[in-house]
Structures are given as structure tokens and as C-alpha cells.
Structure 1
């Protein structure tokens, strides 16, 4: 294991932020993430947990906000529905410099909290 990151997001806080700054959706989330979240009755939980995943990946990489583009870290789904990371751009370069060749990701959320854990291998 090279790095581990965890992040927790309050769903209601994410709801408030998205209502106040709707452009955040396109700034932070890839088109695929947007489509997946917006297919839900309430997309906020899906956006919150994906935001947590991006933060967890940055922590596992040992970088702060702004070091990589938000779109460089994408939560995708395997054919079984399990979450998986697609890392590109600057995030991929940082990962390669650290010797990271694969990732493990777990997501969970309730109506009030969203959590992600990312492990860099």
C-alpha cells in the first residue's frame, strides 16, 4: 500500500452548495458522473459521495486541492456496479511518480452523510 485517504461529506451541506453554486457540478464532476447522479430521484447523495471520493484520492496521493484537476479523478462503475476509479491527467502523473499502479475504492452514504475510502496500491 502506498497511500490511503478517507473523506466524509454532509449531504445537506452539499445540497446547499449545489443550490448556491450550480456551476460546481460541471467544474467538479465529469459528464459520466453527472449523468449517473442526475438519474437518481435525489442526485445530491451521489454527488456528495463522489466528491468525498475525489478528496480521498487527493489525500491518498498526498496532494491538496488544486494540485490535480477535479476531472482527473472519476468514479466509474464496473459491470457488477462496484465503484472504481479512473485516474487521468495530472493525477495519473502524480500516481505514477509515487509508483501507484492500482486503486481500491469503497463508497457509502446515508440521507445525511457520504463517505469514501481510497487506497493507492
Structure 2
């Protein structure tokens, strides 16, 4: 049974501006170490911004699917977007996000990401059996 569906779209230019203005402080506040490593594997600022934008969209879409927003101690870094060995994006939950999902009986998380030079989009489906 579907627990929730969330979608989000992010303008890449917005993320580029945040990276230029706040740099490491911005990415350290929102992204886990593995997300930062993955997105900074290139020196190309545009590709970095697209990567971070897609991950931010996934975090927002996850929160929309959950229906809670950032409440009750939930933090951005509790939601981690990783790629499996085939490159498929997956969401790993940590800390409060994991606790909330366990209490709600959520046992399936599906995520799809896409981006262009201008925008990044994510769709998240949470499943409860």
C-alpha cells in the first residue's frame, strides 16, 4: 500500500548561487559526507550544482511523501541520497527519519531523479505493507 508520494523541482541556478555565496557551510548543513563526496567528484561547478540540486529535490520529495516536513528533530542529513552499484539512486534514512518511518511501518522507499542544466526533479514513493 502506498503511504505517500512526494515530488519536488529545484532550479539549479538557485543551488549555484547558494554554493557561490555560502560554499562549504551550505553543503555541510544539508548533505551527508557521502553526498558531498559524490557531488564534488568533478571540478565542474555546473555539474556539482545539478548533483546537489537533484539530491535536495529528493530530500524535499521525501518529506512531502512522509507528510511531516522538518519537524520533531528531523534534519536534512537524516535523509541521504546514495547511488547503488548500478548508479540507481536510493534513499537511506538515519536517526529521526529512520525512527519515524519505522513507527509508520514504511518498508519501501522508491526514488527517481532527473536533471537538466536548468532544473532538477525528484519523485519519492513511500510504501507500507
TM over 0.5: yes
2:50 equivalent to 1:45: yes
Instruction: Give unmatched runs, 5+ long, in structure 1.
Output: none
Instruction: Give unmatched runs, 5+ long, in structure 2.
Output: none
Per the normalisation by structure 2, the TM-score is 0.89
- Aligned-partner Cα distance in 1 for 2:71–2:22: 18
Kindly report structure 1 stretches of 4+ aligned residues shifted beyond 2 Å: none
2:91 equivalent to 1:85: yes
Q: What secondary structure sits across from 2:52 in the alignment?
A: helix
- Aligned-partner Cα distance in 1 for 2:123–2:95: 21
Please state how far the C-alpha of 1:94 moved relative to its aligned partner: 1.1
2:30 equivalent to 1:28: yes
- Aligned-partner Cα distance in 2 for 1:89–1:25: 19
Aligned residues: 121
Structure of greater Rg: 2
Per the normalisation by structure 1, the TM-score is 0.95
Q: What secondary structure sits across from 1:64 in the alignment?
A: coil
